[in-house]
Amino acid sequence: MRWPADPRARFALGVVACLFGFGLTLAAIDWLAPSPKGPSSSSYATSPAGLAAYASVLERAGHPVRRVRTPIAERRPSLGETLIVLEPDAMQEDEARAIGDWVRDGGSLVAGGGDPSWLQAVLPDAPEWWPGGPLRRETLVPVAETAGVRTVLGANGGGWREVGGSLPVIGPADGPLLVVTNSGRGSVALLADASPLQNRRLAYADGAALGVALAGGDRRPVAFLETVHGYGSARGFGGLPGGVKWVIIGLALTALVAMWSVGRRLGPPEDSDIAPSPPRVEYVDALATALVRSKPDQEADS
C-alpha cells in the first residue's frame, strides 16, 4: 500500500487508523472484562442499583422471566404474569392508564420506588411516599408477599404514608416499606424502597426471599417493564448500544475531516498573475552559469 504524498492526507489517515484501533480496543476490553452498567432498577443493569441479579434469582427459582420492551399501551402482558415496574425513569400517562386497566382486569403488579405519582392511575387511593424510615425492616403480617421473609435491609430508606385501604406487611407500621392491596380483580404490591431487590442488597438478610415471594407462587411468569428505563424496540442504528453509536459517529466525523483536508480548494491554488519561482535545480544551474560568465571580467579588472 502506498501512502499519499500530501502530508495532510497521511495525517488524516493516521487519525482514522488510531480511532479505529481505539474503538476495537474498547470493544475488546468491554467483551473480556465488562464493567457494571445500566439504569437503576432495570433487569438488564449489572450496576449496584440494577436488578440483573434479581432476575437471575427468579430464573433459578423456576420463574420464567422476560423483559418487556413494548409499551403496555400497545401490547398487554398475560394476566398470568407478574409485572414489575420499579423506579421508572419516565412514565407516560397513557402507559400508566394501560397498566391500571390491566391490573383491574386481573393482573398482578409489583411497583414502587422513584416518583410514585403515576400510581394514581392504578390505585385511586394510592399511598403517599416519604423519604424517612430505617434501613432495616421487619415483617408485620405473614402474607403470600412475605413468605419466608423476616428481615430486609435497604440502602435508601423511604416508606408509605396515608396507606388508606392498603395493608402494611413490612414495617415499620407508621411508614411501611411494603403494602399490598387489590384493584378490581388484580393485586398490587407497593415497595417504597427498591434497594432490597437491587444487586447491592439482594444477598443481605431476606432480600432474595422477598423477591421470590413478590413474584408469586407456582413458578409464576415474571415480566420486567424495561420501556420505562429507556429500552425500546428500536432497530437499525437506534437499536445499537450507546457506546457503539459514539464510535461510529466519531469515525464518520473523522472521515469527513480527512476528505476535507485532502480535497482541493475552489479556484486556482495560487494567483496566476504572479510567476512561480523556478525549480531549485534550474535556479542553481542558472546561478552557476552567471558566475562562470562573470569570472573573466573580474580577472581583467584585477
Q: Domains of the chain: which residue ranges?
A: 7-35+237-262, 52-229
- Measured in residues, the chain has a length of 302
Instruction: Report the C-alpha gap between 44 and 198 in whole angstroms.
Output: 12
The helix (run of H) or strand (run of E) holding residue 85 is strand 82-86
Distance CA 145, CA 165 (A): 17
* Cell output for 18: 488510531
Residue with the three cell numbers 413494548: 70
Measured CA to CA, the distance from residue 191 to residue 194 in angstroms comes to 6
pLDDT tens across the length of the chain (302 residues): 566 666 666 666 666 677 666 666 666 555 555 555 689 999 999 999 999 999 999 999 999 999 999 999 999 999 999 999 999 998 999 999 999 999 999 999 999 986 788 999 999 889 999 988 899 999 999 999 999 999 999 998 899 999 988 999 999 999 999 999 999 999 999 999 999 999 999 999 999 999 999 999 889 999 999 999 999 755 455 545 556 566 677 777 766 666 665 554 444 555 556 666 666 777 777 777 877 777 665 555 54
pLDDT of residue 27: 60
In contact, 63 and 55? CB cutoff 8 Å: no
Cell 523556478, residue?
278
Residue 291, pLDDT score:
78
State the pLDDT at residue 88: 94
Name the residue type at position 134. P
pTM of the model: 0.70
Residue 172 CB burial class (10 angstroms; 0-12, 13-18, ≥19): middle
Enumerate long-range contacts of 112-116, CB under 8 Å, 24 or more apart.
112/86, 112/87, 112/190, 112/191, 112/192, 112/193, 112/194, 113/41, 113/86, 113/87, 113/158, 113/191, 113/192, 113/193, 113/194, 114/41, 114/86, 114/87, 114/88, 114/89, 114/194, 115/88, 115/91, 116/190
Q: Which CATH architecture has domain 52-229?
A: 3-Layer(aba) Sandwich (3.40)
Nearest alpha carbon to residue 126 among 169, 171, 160 = 160
Tell me, what's the pLDDT at 257?
A: 65
